[in-house]
Structure 1
Amino acid sequence: MAWLNARGDLVELVFPDIDGPVAQRGIGIIAPFDLALERELWRWVPLEVSLHLARTPYEPVPVSVAMAELVSNPLHLTAATRDVLHVDPEVIAYLCTSGSFIQGMAHESSLRDIICAAGARDAVTTSGALLEAIRALDLTRISVITPYDEILTGKLHDFLAEAGCETVRSDHLGLGGGIWKVSYRTVAERIMNADDPDSQAIFVSCTNLPTYDLVEPLERALGKPVLTANQLTMWACLGRMKLPMMGPGRWLQDVF
C-alpha cells in the first residue's frame, strides 16, 4: 500500500496481514459491581478471544450472604446478558463464585437458564465451572480457601457436599470488601496452610481474589491441582468454544 504523505513523498507501508485484524470470538462476562481483576481474566484467553463485560448494579453491602444473593438477582442477570448480546458472544459467563453457589446446585443451574432465556447462546457460572472441573478430574476430596466470612464459606462447603465432594480442610480471610487488594504472599500462605494429604486439589474461591501468578509454582510445590475461580470460569467458556486455555493450570489443559 502506497500514498503521498504531507510533504509529497511516496510512502509505502507493508502490513503483515492486510486482511487483518485477527477475527475475534467473544465471551460475554457478567461481573459483580466490585470486580477489579479484569486484567487477570484476559491473561487466561488466547489472542482471538475478546471479553465483553457487563456489571450488576452497585449494592451498598459488604461481601456476605446478602451480597451474594443481591448480585445473583435474576433481573440483574437478564439485563446484563442483554447488555452484551449486541457483540454476539459465543458464551456468556456469570463471573461470581458466591453468587452461583449461594443457594445450591439447582439454583446454579437456574442462573444459566436465566442467561440463556435472555438470549445467550450458551452460559457458564463460576460455581458451575467448579462442578465441571470436579467431574473432569474425578475429585471427591478438596481443600478450599475463601476471602469470605465463616457463614458464606460454609455455604460453599454445603454446595460442594451436594456435589458429592468433601471439604477436607478450609480457611477463610473474613473480608467484607477490598478483596482484590490481598497480596500474593497472603494468598499463597493460606493456600499452603489449607493443603492436606487427603485433599486431591485446592479450590481458591472468589473472582476478585488475585491468583494467576500463584497457580503454577503452587501446583509444583504441592503436586496437585490449584483451581481458582477466574481460571475455571475461563476454562469452561473456552472449552465450549473448542479453544485452549492460556496460562497455568496443567491439570486442566487437556481435559476438553
Structure 2
Amino acid sequence: MKRHVQGPEPQTGVGIVAPYDFARDRELWRWVPSTVSLFIARTGGSPEGDNLDSVSALNRPSSVRRPTREVCAVGAEVVVYACTACSFVGGALGEAALRQAMRDAGARRALTTSGAAVSALRTVKAQRVAVVHPYERPVGNRLRDYLVASGFDVVGCTPLGIPVREVLDTGYAEVADLIRTGDTEDADAIFVSCTALPTYDLIAPLEEELGKPVVTANQATVWAALRELDLQASGADQTLLRL
C-alpha cells in the first residue's frame, strides 16, 4: 500500500546578508516559523585593522550588493543586512545607503540590523535605553550617537571588555553578566548590540529578572524581517514578540 506523504510546506524566503565571519546562523533560525526559509549569504572579508576600520569597510554599499543578488536569486522577499555595527557606523545616512544598495541589487524590501533595532526599541516604547556591546570605544561611541540621533536617551553604554577577536567565542554566561552589569535603574529597556552575541535563551528570563524589555540584535533582525511580510517571529515570553 502506497503511503501519501504531504509537504514540504510552501516557504517564504527571507534573505540574510551576513558579515563574512558571522557564526550565529542557528540562532537566527530559532526565531523563524516553519513556513519561512532563511537564505544566508556572506560579505567578502574586511582589511586588517582595528574594530572601527573593520566595520567601516563593511559599511560600504559595495559590500552588500553581491550577497544581496545571491539571496534574491533564490527567492528572498525581504533582505536584511545582519550586522549592527556595520550598519550604524556610518550614521543614519550610511544606514540608508546600505538599504538603497540592497534595493538596487534586487531586494524588494531592504532592512538593516541597526534600523531594525530602532524599530524594535520604539515598539517596546523605550525612551531611556541601557546599551551593552562588545565593541572597542570608537565603535561604541558611534552606537551611542546613532541611538541618540534616533531619538533615544542612552543612559548607559557598557562594553563587554574582551578583545574583539574573542567575541565569536562568547557564551551565554558572559552575555548574561554583561546585561546585568549594563542595566541601570533609570533604563526602561536594554539593547544588546552585535549579531555575534548569542541571546535567544537569555531574553525571557532576564526580562523577568530585570523587569524590563531586553531587545537584542539578532532578535530584532528576524522580527523586523518577518514583520515586513506580516509574519510572527517565534520566541516564547519575549516582550518584543508579544507586541
TM normalised by structure 2 equals: 0.95
Shift of 1:129: 0.4
- Whole-Å separation in 2 of the counterparts to 1:91 and 1:147: 28
Mapped contact 2:203–2:238 kept (Cα < 8 A): no
1:243–1:63: structure 2 CA closer, same or farther, 3 Å change rule?
A: farther
1:80–1:142: structure 2 CA closer, same or farther, 3 Å change rule?
A: same
Q: Which residue is equivalent to 1:54?
A: 41
Q: Which residue is equivalent to 2:173?
A: 185
Shift of 1:178: 3.3
Shift of 1:251: 2.1
Higher share in helix = 2
- Whole-Å separation in 1 of the counterparts to 2:4 and 2:75: 32
- Whole-Å separation in 2 of the counterparts to 1:229 and 1:205: 5
1:23–1:71: structure 2 CA closer, same or farther, 3 Å change rule?
A: same
For 1:245, give the aligned amino acid: A
- Cα RMSD of the aligned pairs, angstroms, is 1.4
1:249–1:168: structure 2 CA closer, same or farther, 3 Å change rule?
A: farther
Residue 39 of structure 2 is aligned to residue 13 of structure 1:
no
Q: 2:107 aligns with which of 116, 120, 124?
A: 120
Mapped contact 2:188–2:213 kept (Cα < 8 A): yes
Shift of 1:250: 2.9
User: Secondary structure of the residue that 1:243 maps to in structure 2?
Assistant: coil
- Whole-Å separation in 1 of the counterparts to 2:205 and 2:28: 19
- Whole-Å separation in 2 of the counterparts to 1:143 and 1:47: 33
- Whole-Å separation in 2 of the counterparts to 1:55 and 1:33: 5
Shift of 1:62: 5.5
* Per-residue CA distance 1:156-177 (angstroms, 9 max, x = gap): 0000110111111121124322
1:205–1:24: structure 2 CA closer, same or farther, 3 Å change rule?
A: same
Q: Which residue is equivalent to 1:142?
A: 129
Q: Which residue is equivalent to 1:247?
A: 235
- Whole-Å separation in 1 of the counterparts to 2:89 and 2:45: 19
Point out the structure with max Rg over C-alpha.
Answer: 1
Q: Which residue is equivalent to 1:74?
A: 61
Same amino acid, percent of matched pairs = 42
Q: Which residue is equivalent to 1:34?
A: 21
Shift of 1:254: 3.8
1:200–1:46: structure 2 CA closer, same or farther, 3 Å change rule?
A: same
Q: Which residue is equivalent to 1:101?
A: 88
Consecutive unaligned residues of structure 1, counting only runs of 5 or more, are: 3-11
Residue 159 of structure 2 is aligned to residue 172 of structure 1:
yes
- Whole-Å separation in 1 of the counterparts to 2:131 and 2:225: 22
Q: Which residue is equivalent to 1:7?
A: none
Query: How do 1:143-222 and structure 2 match up within 5 A?
Result: 143-174=130-161, 175-222=163-210
Mapped contact 1:62–1:176 kept (Cα < 8 A): no
Shift of 1:49: 0.6
- Whole-Å separation in 1 of the counterparts to 2:181 and 2:48: 29
1:186–1:62: structure 2 CA closer, same or farther, 3 Å change rule?
A: farther
TM normalised by structure 1 equals: 0.90
- Whole-Å separation in 1 of the counterparts to 2:237 and 2:84: 18
For 1:203, give the aligned amino acid: F
Shift of 1:13: 2.5
Instruction: Please say which of residues 217-226 and 169-178 is displaced more in the overlay.
Output: 169-178
Q: Which residue is equivalent to 1:22?
A: 9
- Whole-Å separation in 1 of the counterparts to 2:240 and 2:183: 19
Aligned pair count reads 242
- Whole-Å separation in 2 of the counterparts to 1:62 and 1:44: 33
User: Secondary structure of the residue that 2:240 maps to in structure 1?
Assistant: coil
Shift of 1:63: 6.1
